[in-house]
Amino acid sequence: HFGAIMSLQVLGFCGADDSVDPRLLVTIANQYPWIEWGVLFRPDLEGKPRYASPAWVEQLSQARQQLGSGTTLLAAHLCSTR
């Protein structure tokens, strides 16, 4: 029904990668806890645009532990053979 009001509970941003400072991502997540950050995993594209490298994922994990308020929503997108 077109007259209904839509209410979003979560908004997803997909493709967080090495070009994004993990500390900034966590800082934004602290301000907007309804954002879900999608991280794409594909072995042959690691470290390329939209596909995070293992080192970046580790940095994100550390940033969540150091700066996070416990509300950083993450989604792992397993692409290709994973």
Q: How confident is the model at residue 4 (pLDDT cuts 50, 70, 90)?
A: confident
The pLDDT assigned to 36 comes to 97
In terms of Cα–Cα distance, which of 24, 22, 27, 63 is closest to 39? 22
pTM reported for the whole predicted model: 0.85
User: Which of 65, 53, 60 lies closest to 18, judged by CA?
Assistant: 53
Give the helix, strand, coil percentages of the chain, each rounded to 5.
Answer: 35, 20, 45
